[in-house]
A and B are shown apart, each in its own frame.
Chain A
């Protein structure tokens, strides 16, 4: 069941409401880009639709080629012109103006105008993009009176706004096709006939592959002639496909750590955590703070001391990752080496549990607990096996509770019926991404919410302060204080920094370097002439 492998965890990565990103990287483009050629991408499942606002990771990587966004981003989340050739931000941070590329057209010949942008942000994104409401609720009004310029007025200054203008969060869709329709059922979402991105549909052999070709009328002309997505559900088969050159690129969603270990040493293949500083996340194993003994901070802190994070990180990632300190990945600009985490010290953990009122009983155990895990997600499964052993070593009668994807989501997020449960959290490129997991307002029975029921008013105040502040150095100071508070409260274990690894043949250059696992425009991508 390899195709299950990433679904849940990728979903979790996306989960953060206030995420931005999308990026086209220039990191590898050492030489001059070559025009022409085809890129073959191995993805783990066929796109279920071509709806531009889908939440399916394998749809997103395709539609990012078919629809424009205002901006594109590099690995450092720096904005670059895309559909918008220029933009201006007002002094008070409340007005954003974007000038659109002249002569941009949809594939049916109709012009792409500011009205399409306004329509997308008012009628489509908030309703159908899962994070749309949270991302763009800050918009007060959109002015599209000039077809070549679109003006956003915000309710308040909101620092992450610009970085949300990527193809994943804010695709621009044709108003004349989608107005007044349910985009899921719209014929265009099945056929992809009318689009406006750098590529357009060429052929789709159901279940086998989907080929895109250069869109000659696009506002942004790509280097490649064609992109083929091959659907390969088995991880080992994908790896072999890359090894033999049947595919040229496996995006992170198609690359488990085990494949990483098996591809190492092949001089034809590069393995890289592309977009690492932006995309990285943290393996987060959260406590259910609604119930005893996990409502007791001392118990959670004791358990934090009981877990050997270094060992977990090395074993799970085949030594590609390190232990995390706190809820942010240590590659994030918001992370700081001054943060103080929990040292691995089983003796101390034992003493703290004694003090918390949970001494060992006659059977040698203090209390029993279960650890939710998903056997199909290798990272969760391996990490939780070690966590259980660590817990048993300090006298906690811990056992694994393996659940398949749907019941796992239900028990963790909807029914809150668990002791501890794992998630992957993209946190790196803006610390504000911690809001959906750690803010009081995010406690609700919905997928990828604050499932721990962690609530600290001081932390919430710091979240608000951090989002309103425009100066990055000041923001960092706020977020360091915030992280230390969360770490001290210990609502979760953070055993491992978790990066997105891509694998590709050495002749591929300019892969999307942003935090979105390659779900971004391939317009700058090129392959060496063979």
Chain B
């Protein structure tokens, strides 16, 4: 067990250069992309070249790229992601204001699809090629192969337009006192459709993986041994087959945590969900470099952290890894 702190330390240390590399690459990509933020900002008016130069100077965009980079790196290390060109507010504040919405949508989705995906995967694997297996897997394949924006519109057409059960857009109705139960009820009503659509996607993905993994596990020698020892069928499945089968699922779930915060761009757009996905799309359109860099950084760091955490979870559920980290 003494190896565990060392492994944790190593993993964290490895993450640091990765984060720095991410910052460099993100910065380079954004600044090498065609298009000038100043041109986008002045937009419509007949603006003089002088005014544009002044604006460029005030944003520090007249400086050589490496100067811009080091000043950016310096402020990032101090926890300052800069001021958005478009909103004129600190990037950290803007991003923070959108995290709850994305967290609500993706968190709900995550819990639902993890539980359903694993259950469906197990149920399907218990009787391969049976009717229940075929039905579940057909739904699963449809779930993760049908584009979510298309499914989103379909859901809107049926449940919002035709049946009128769900609201069409946004996260909450106007004029409700924040925190009141009417407010949360309204949020819940708005959440149902987008959460269902995104859940269908991830449930399908996880169910397919779980089924394959479970089938492998059920063929293992240890299962034969367990059965031979006279353990009950469900004890064999739940205590021996499932824990083994679930390891690869943890990898996928871990990666998803990292991607979750970047928001479901298409779903958020279709449902008008006020999360980070829509914010990113907007930042791209408006060449809001600081905001875009902030979003990229957040996503990258989340993926890196998720990877580290996944490794650690591995250690917890698979004792064999503890010896040779």
Contacts and interface: CB of A to CB of B under 8 A. Distances in A.
7 contacts: A38-B175, A48-B87, A49-B87, A240-B157, A246-B170, A413-B39, A442-B46
Interface in A202-244: 202-203, 205-209, 211, 226, 228, 230-234, 236-238, 240-241, 243-244
A207 B98 contact: yes
Contacts of A134: 46
A241 B156 CA distance: 10
B244 to A, nearest CB: 43
Nearest to A132: B45
A445 interface: yes
Interface in A37-85: 38, 40, 45-46, 48-49, 55-56
Chain A interface category by residue count: 35 or more
Given A1-B281, A55-B43, 16 more contacts: A15-B46, A38-B175, A45-B282, A55-B42, A131-B45, A202-B175, A205-B172, A205-B274, A207-B98, A230-B170, A237-B269, A237-B271, A240-B161, A240-B168, A240-B169, A444-B48
Contacts of B42: 55, 130, 446-447
B86 to A, nearest CB: 5
Contacts, number: 189
Given A3-B281, A233-B278, A208 B170 contact: yes
B152 to A, nearest CB: 9
B46 A203 contact: no
Interface string B85-116: 01111000000011001000000000000000
Nearest to B101: A207
A471 to B, nearest CB: 27
A11 B35 contact: no
A254 to B, nearest CB: 12
A85 B274 CA distance: 42
Contacts of B121: none
A266 to B, nearest CB: 11
* Nearest 4 CB-CB pairings of A with B: A130-B45, A207-B274, A406-B35, A14-B44
A240 B160 contact: yes
B36 A406 contact: yes
A25 interface: no
A205 B171 contact: yes
Max chain A CB contacts within 10 Å: which of B45, B153, B271? B45
A409 interface: yes
B33 to A, nearest CB: 8
B169 A230 contact: yes
A404 B35 contact: yes
B264 to A, nearest CB: 13
Contacts of B269: 2-3, 233-234, 237
Contacts of B170: 208-209, 230-232, 246
Nearest to B166: A244
A130 B171 contact: no
A211 B49 CA distance: 38
Contacts of A243: 161
B275 interface: yes
Interface string A125-165: 00001111110000000000000000000000000000000
B167 to A, nearest CB: 6
Nearest to B266: A234
B40 interface: yes
Contacts of B40: 405-406, 409
B228 interface: no
A244 B272 CA distance: 15
B36 A414 contact: yes
B266 to A, nearest CB: 9
A262 to B, nearest CB: 12
A184 interface: yes
A161 to B, nearest CB: 18
Given A48-B87, A410-B39, A444-B48, A206 B270 contact: no
Interface string A1-32: 11110010011111111000000000000000
A12 B44 contact: yes
Contact of A447 (B43, B172, B278): B43
Nearest to B167: A246
A10 B45 CA distance: 11
A414 B134 CA distance: 59
Contact of A246 (B157, B168, B172, B278): B168
Contacts of B88: 48-49, 184-185, 189-190
A46 B98 CA distance: 13
A211 B273 CA distance: 17
B161 A129 contact: no
B198 interface: no
B36 A208 contact: no
Interface in A115-131: 129-131
A406 B52 contact: no
Contacts of A448: 44-46
Nearest to A210: B174
B32 interface: no
Contacts of A228: 174-175
